[in-house]
Amino acid sequence: MKLTRLGEFGLIEKLRRIAPTSPNVRIGIGDDAAWTKLKTGSVLITADLLLENVHFNLDWTSSFDLGYKALAVNLSDIAAMGGIPAFLILSLGVPSHFDSSQLEKLYQGIRSLALKHNVALVGGDISLAETLLISPCLIGHAPYRPISRSGAKIDQDIYVTGTLGDSALGLRLLKAKPRRVSKSIAAHLLLRHRKPTPRLAVGELLAREKLATAMIDISDGLLQDLGHICKASKVGALISEENLPLSIAYRRLAGRNGRQYALTGGEDYELLFCARRRDRKRVEQLQRRVKVPISRIGACVAAQEGIVVLDCSGNAVSFRGKGHDHFKKETPLTRWMTTAL
Ligand code: ADP
Ligand code: MG
C-alpha cells in the first residue's frame, strides 16, 4: 500500500506484525520506549532519529542546538515512560563536505544536556551520507513500573505539562521571517523550538507515585499524541480548548483563532498523561514539588465519542488534521499553518 495512504502509524502497525518478539519484551513497539527484561533487571530503550531537511534545516539551526535537541527528544521518550536516562549510543551519517568542528559542536550540544541528566555517550557508528543524519539510541533505568499509553480509563482526568504550541510557532517564525514580531516573543518561541525541555523529573515522580495511568510525550501535536493514548487505552477524550496552557508569547502572536498550533503543532515535548479524579490533590502537590506547570485539559470518555475539543461556549471545535505524520499527504492544517501568520 502507498505510504501516503497508509501513513506513518499504519506502516508501523504493519511492520510490528512481522517484527520478532520475545517473552522478555514487557512493552514493545507502540509506546514511547520499549521496556525489556534482562537477567540483571530491566531497561528502557528508545530511538528517535533526526534527518536534515526533514527534521531540521542547517540554514537556521546551529550544530550545538542540533546536538542538544537530538538528545532532548530522546530524553523526552524516557520521561514519558517515567524512566531515568543512562546511556546514549549515537550514530551519524555525515556528508563529506562537513568540517569536523561542526560535529564537535554537535557533541558539545549533546554534552551540555547530557551532563544535566547524568547521561554517558558510550558509542555509535559513522557513515558517509547525502545529508546529515543523527540517530541516537537512549537506554534508561526503570526503577518504577513504566507508564504505558494503554492504562487510561473512562472518567479519568487528562493533564499536560508546560505550554503547548510554542515550538510550532517558533518554527513558523523561522520559515516565514515576519518582521513585526517583538524580539522577546520571538526569542521565547525560538528557544522552545530549538531547545525543548524534556520533563524527566515530572515523568519520574508520576511513575514513583503511581499517579499517571497512561502517558505519552507530545512530539507530533496534542491531538495526534492524545489519539495514541485513546487508541491504546480504548477510550475517547473530551478536551476543553479554554484550559489549553498557552504561553504569553503564544497568546500575543497567534491571536484569537490560533489554538490550532496548540492542538496540532508538533515538537513541544511536554508530557500528556491521565490520572484518576480522586488523585487531583496529589497531582497539584506534585506540581508544586517539581515547579513545572501542570494543567488539567480534559477527561477520558467512552471510545465511541472519539476525541472532541470544546470551546468556551461548550461547542465542538472543528480542527483541521490531528498533527504530524511523516507520510500522509499535506493536510489542510499544514496549508493553513503556512498562511496563518
Ligand atoms: P515517538 O513519537 O514516541 O518517538 P514513534 O511515533 O516514533 O514514537 O513510534 C511509535 C512506536 O513505533 C514506538 O514504539 C517505536 O519504537 C516504534 N517504531 C517506530 N519506527 C519503527 C521501526 N522502523 N521498526 C519498529 N518499530 C518502530
Ligand atoms: Mg514519544
Mean pLDDT of 96-104: 97
Determine the residue of 12, 50, 222 to mutate for testing ligand 1's pocket, defined as the one with the most ligand atoms within 8 A of the Cβ atom: 12
Residue burial 63-95, b: 16+ Cβ < 10 Å; e: rest: bbbbbbbbbbbbbbbbbbbbbbbbbbbbbbbbe
pLDDT score of 340 more than 50:
no
Determine the residue of 8, 29, 229, 322 to mutate for testing ligand 1's pocket, defined as the one with the most ligand atoms within 8 A of the Cβ atom: 29
Kindly state the percentage of the chain with pLDDT values over 90: 88
Better-predicted residue by pLDDT, 335 or 15: 15
What pLDDT is stored for residue 193 in this prediction? Answer: 97
Residue 91 to residues 32, 69, 71, 123, 258, Cα–Cα distance (Å): 20, 15, 12, 8, 38
CA 300 to chain centre: 20
Residue-wise pLDDT tens digits, 21-50: 999 999 999 999 999 999 999 999 999 999
What pLDDT is stored for residue 329 in this prediction? Answer: 59
pLDDT score of 331 more than 90:
no
* The overall pTM is greater than 0.85: yes
Query: Strand order in 212-217's β-sheet?
Result: 212-217, 271-275, 157-161, 294-301, 236-240, 307-310
Mean pLDDT of 43-71: 97
Q: Is the CB of 30 under 6 A from ligand 1?
A: yes
Mean pLDDT of 78-104: 98
What pLDDT is stored for residue 113 in this prediction? Answer: 98
Mean pLDDT of 272-297: 97
Q: Is the CB of 32 under 6 A from ligand 1?
A: yes
Q: Is the CB of 316 under 6 A from ligand 1?
A: no
What pLDDT is stored for residue 337 in this prediction? Answer: 39
Q: Is the CB of 12 under 6 A from ligand 1?
A: yes
Distance 237 CA to ligand 2 centre (A): 19
Residue-wise pLDDT tens digits, 139-162: 999 999 999 999 999 999 999 999
Mean pLDDT of 297-326: 89
Mean pLDDT of 243-253: 95
What pLDDT is stored for residue 102 in this prediction? Answer: 97
Residue with CA nearest ligand 1 atom 10:
30
Give me the chain's average pLDDT, please.
Answer: 93
pLDDT score of 325 more than 90:
no
Residue with CA nearest ligand 1 atom 23:
12
